[in-house]
């Protein structure tokens, strides 16, 4: 089993107050509040600031850390909303705000210099110099770009000190972003359909072996990304945070996923072997097919297993789903 200085924080994303009220928090250390992909999502905590304030207090009273996310692509017309979100987070003592945009970062550091800031993978941290730049701006935690190889993330960690590193271990990873909703678009020259919460339904795009999901403003991996089999290796690498990217999930699914990953951490602490295959099987019962190809140099749709003799050798051989 790996040696480690402290347990990484296990966090999940929760979009609305209704989902939060029904989510079992026992297995989580922290929660990222709000749906950053689109402010129009029904019940989005980023548009219901009184509910956001109550949610911050509720999470902190449970002994967990409350983080507030912000819109991923804020246009100029959105900036009043962004300022209100960050101001409310600061006023009600959120443990940090999560930022995806350089302009929002600049404004936040200028107006709330004592408010801890986490940066998401949308800030495109591909190499150490970018991470150092953000660290010098006072950022406390970063998420390297999702598509980086394990070795590339480790290089950044080795060269950048005194900042926290978090990585996704599960969830729907974005393949790109658009400001306009892809589910509302019509033919060129026609007016855009009104928002009818089309993103609340599942819209999978299948093309042979390729499978993606449209969530309105983004395409995400249709098969959940998962590092469940590689948790001991991630512990050894010394990450500060493990992220469950559950922005599009309901309470029951978030609770089940969090429980499986908490059990994975408990297994590492309590026994001499790690039941990777059993945990993976349990996760597949909840989530269906899994993927992790980006981490090992394959396309995002592929899955590499820890049972392979070496993940990178398996990737080179073009091994897919296991």
Q: How far apart are CA 249 and CA 288, in angstroms?
A: 14
What confidence category does residue 295 fall into, taking pLDDT thresholds of 50, 70 and 90? confident
d(CA 135, CA 223): 33
Cβ atoms 103, 85 nearer than 8 A: no
Region 113-118: what's the mean pLDDT?
98
Instruction: Decide the pairing of beta strands 218-221 and 174-177.
Output: antiparallel
3-class SS at 69?
A: coil
Contact predicate 35/41, CB 8 Å: yes
Q: How far is the C-alpha of 171 from the C-alpha of 248, rounded, in Å?
A: 9
Expressed in angstroms, the distance from the first to the final Cα of the chain is 23
The pLDDT score that the predictor gives to residue 322 is: 46
pLDDT of residue 79: 94
Judged against a pLDDT cut of 60, whether residue 76 lies above it is answered with yes
CA pair distance 130, 196, nearest whole angstrom: 39
Cβ atoms of residues 64 and 30 within 8 Å: yes
Question: Is pLDDT of 190 > 60?
Answer: no
pLDDT of 262 strictly over 50: yes
Using the predicted structure, report yes or no on whether residue 121 has a pLDDT greater than 90. yes
| Model pLDDT, residue 127 | 96
* Percent of the chain clearing pLDDT 70 (strictly above): 90
CB 273 within 8 A of CB 231: no
Give me the pLDDT at residue 308, please: 67
Helix/strand/coil for 241: strand
Mean pLDDT over all residues of the chain? Answer: 90
pLDDT of residue 4: 45
Q: Beginning with the edge strand found earlier in the chain, give each strand of the sheet holding 210-214 in spatial order.
A: 174-177, 218-221, 210-214, 204-207
In tens, the pLDDT along 4-45 reads 446 899 999 999 999 999 999 999 999 999 999 999 999 999
Lowest mean pLDDT: which of 171-175, 304-308, 311-315? 311-315
Q: Which two tokens stand for residue 23?
A: 């989510």
Q: What percent of the chain has pLDDT over 90?
A: 71
* Domains of the chain and any CATH numbers: 9-183+194-316 (3.20.20.70)
Check residues 164 and 322 and name the one with the higher pLDDT.
164
* Contact of 97 with 115, CB cutoff 8 Å: yes
Reported confidence tier of residue 280, pLDDT bands at 50, 70, 90: very high
Given a cut of 70, is residue 189 above it in pLDDT?
Answer: no
Cβ pair 104, 74 in contact under 8 A: yes
Minimal CA–CA distance to 92: which of 58, 64, 140, 141?
Answer: 58
Q: What is the pLDDT of residue 7?
A: 84
What per-residue confidence (pLDDT) applies to 287? 96
Tokens 């150490």: give the residue. Answer: 128
Residue 28: its pLDDT value, please? 98
pLDDT reading at 318 higher than 70 = no
Burial code of 178-195, b = ≥16 C-beta within 10 A, e = fewer? Answer: eeebebbeeeeeeeeeee
**Burial letters for 45-63: b for 16+ Cβ neighbours within 10 Å, e otherwise?**
bbbebebbbebbebbeeee
Reference 124, options 145, 106, 101; nearest CA is 145
Q: What interhelical angle do 79-91 and 102-111 show, nearest 10?
A: 40
Measure the CA dihedral 36/39/40/45, to 10°. 80
């Amino acid at each position: 089993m790996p040696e480690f200085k402290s347990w990484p924080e296990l966090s999940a994303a929760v979009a609305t107050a209704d989902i939060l009220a029904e989510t079992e928090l026992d297995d989580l250390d922290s929660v990222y509040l709000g749906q950053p992909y689109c402010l129009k999502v029904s019940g989005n905590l980023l548009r219901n600031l009184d509910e956001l304030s109550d949610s911050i207090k509720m999470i902190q009273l449970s002994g967990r850390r409350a983080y507030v996310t912000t819109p991923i692509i804020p246009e100029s017309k959105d900036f009043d909303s962004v300022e209100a979100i960050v101001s409310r987070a600061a006023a009600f003592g959120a443990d940090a705000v999560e930022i995806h945009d350089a302009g929002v970062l600049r404004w936040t550091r200028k107006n709330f210099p004592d408010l801890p800031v986490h940066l998401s993978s949308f800030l495109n941290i591909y190499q150490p110099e970018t991470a150092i730049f953000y660290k010098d701006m006072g950022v406390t935690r970063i998420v390297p770009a999702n598509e980086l190889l394990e070795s590339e993330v480790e290089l950044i960690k080795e060269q950048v000190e005194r900042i926290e590193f978090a990585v996704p271990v599960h969830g729907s990873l974005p393949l790109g972003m658009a400001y306009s909703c892809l589910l509302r678009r019509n033919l060129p020259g026609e007016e855009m359909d009104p928002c009818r919460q089309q993103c609340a339904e599942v819209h999978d795009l299948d093309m042979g072996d390729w499978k993606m999901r449209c969530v309105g403003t983004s395409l995400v991996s249709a098969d959940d990304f998962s590092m469940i089999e590689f948790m001991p290796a991630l512990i050894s690498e010394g990450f500060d945070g493990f992220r469950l990217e559950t922005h599009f999930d309901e309470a029951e699914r978030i609770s089940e996923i969090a429980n499986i990953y908490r059990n994975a951490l408990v297994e590492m602490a309590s026994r001499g072997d790690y039941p990777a295959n059993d945990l993976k099987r349990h996760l597949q019962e909840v989530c269906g097919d899994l993927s992790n190809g980006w981490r090992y140099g394959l396309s995002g749709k592929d899955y590499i297993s820890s049972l392979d003799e070496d993940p990178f050798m398996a990737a080179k051989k073009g091994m897919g789903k296991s």
